[in-house]
Amino acid sequence: MDHSVKQNENIFILGIESSCDDTSCAIIRDGVLLSNITANQSIHEQYGGVIPELASRDHQKNIVPVVDAALKNANITLSQLSSIAVTRGPGLSGSLLVGLSFAKSLSLALHIPLIEINHMQGHILAHFIEEKIDVGSYLSDEKENNFSESPSIQQQISSNKQPTFPFLCLTVSGGHTQIIKITDYLNFELLAETEDDAVGEAFDKAAKILGLPYPGGPLIDKFAKLGDATKYKFPTPKLKNYNYSFSGVKTAFLYFIQEQTKLNSNFIEENMNDICASYQAHLIRYLLKNLLAVSKETNITQIAIAGGVSANSGLRSELEILGKKHQWHTYIPKFEYCTDNAAMIAITGYYKFLKQEFCSLDITPLARYKI
Ligand code: KG4
Ligand code: ZN
């Protein structure tokens, strides 16, 4: 079937994201965001991590209201959609299945093409989201359901400063830590990655050891602002390439806390801010050390960050400082597009739509999906 768009016809992409514990739907018209609705799942806080079975059940519950709200906030109807873009992976299989099955059904019912999206590419292309949001307050009284909408209300299209090609992106999330070279909207080359855990896990695991709820990254960030980042030291692994490894530092952190609490049972309570500040500063130094090395090696000075951990205030400010020192052009996503959201899936879908990169309806989720 020919899905090319005639001149003067708008391209409406509905994006769906359900790879982990956020159910999200966004609508993009001609590359401009009209709505972005996310339902978060607070149920996992008590378990210290995402429980896959509970996550997929909550996606089942949330997906229809979230899609409905996104359409209403965008003030469009299903019949106007040009295509459905959906996260295929990487992520939790059960969670991905909910979004993917829903997207397939919608595509089939509306006779419009399906576009499959790599979640990590989505995180990176979040830098290209343009906003013209006048979404009103449709869900403002639904906060108890943990629904949230993109907060910026603007009458005109506003685009963040966008990277130019080629650029490097340090992509840091709960499941990934990568340095990617991007030469075009849909051209990604993996230059370095973690050999074991992701940096988001290193944040979340440390938070769990400190008795903080999941996800602990934002809480470590909060306490770190009040602490002394030079007080405690942690080891940095030495790998031969620019890859990362975070499992050693996680274990070192555990032993450090065990030893200190043996000496003083109130060690954590008395030193929470300094522990968080020192640990966070250590992780950031390590992330930026390899990023600097890759920038030097590739001679690329357009530098972006993306993914949940790019919401970290320490990482954001240290990147700016390093960028000034090395004459980089740095790109930091808007806060609401750092953690999982469907706007990043819809914008990636838009660029795939322009290239007519559609997929068949028999695709299955990819828990592991290389960039
Ligand atoms: O991209 P994301 O929402 O989901 C995945 O694709 O994994 O990233 C979630 C990760 C979690 O590990 C969370 O703790 C971390 O991002 N995170 C942060 C901050 N906000 C979210 N880590 C450190 N500081 C933050 N402010
Ligand atoms: Zn993510």
What are 166-181's pLDDT values in tens digits? 999 999 999 999 999 9
Output Rg (C-alpha) for the chain, integer angstroms.
21
Report the residue among 125, 173, 205, 210 best suited for mutation to probe ligand 1: largest number of ligand atoms under 8 A from its CB. 173
What are 8-58's pLDDT values in tens digits? 689 999 999 999 999 999 999 999 999 999 998 888 888 878 899 999 999
Same domain, 156 and 267: no
- Give me the residue label for tokens 């966070």: 280
In a domain, 316, yes or no: yes
Whether the Cβ atoms of residue 254 and residue 209 lie closer than 8 Å to each other: yes
> How much is the pLDDT for 161?
86
In a domain, 265, yes or no: yes
In a domain, 364, yes or no: no
> What predicted TM-score, i.e. pTM, was given to this entire model?
0.92
The CATH number for 307's domain is 3.30.420.40
Same domain, 156 and 302: no
| Structural domain of 30 | 12-160+337-354
What's the number of domains the chain is made of?
2
> How much is the pLDDT for 146?
55
Same domain, 202 and 283: yes
Instruction: State if residue 311 touches ligand 1 by the CB under 6 angstroms criterion.
Output: yes
Same domain, 349 and 207: no
In a domain, 359, yes or no: no
Same domain, 325 and 191: yes
> How much is the pLDDT for 134?
54
Q: Which residues of the chain have pLDDT under 70?
A: 1-2, 4-8, 133-160
Same domain, 326 and 346: no
For residue 339, give the ligand 1 atom closest to its CA.
Answer: 3
> How much is the pLDDT for 152?
44
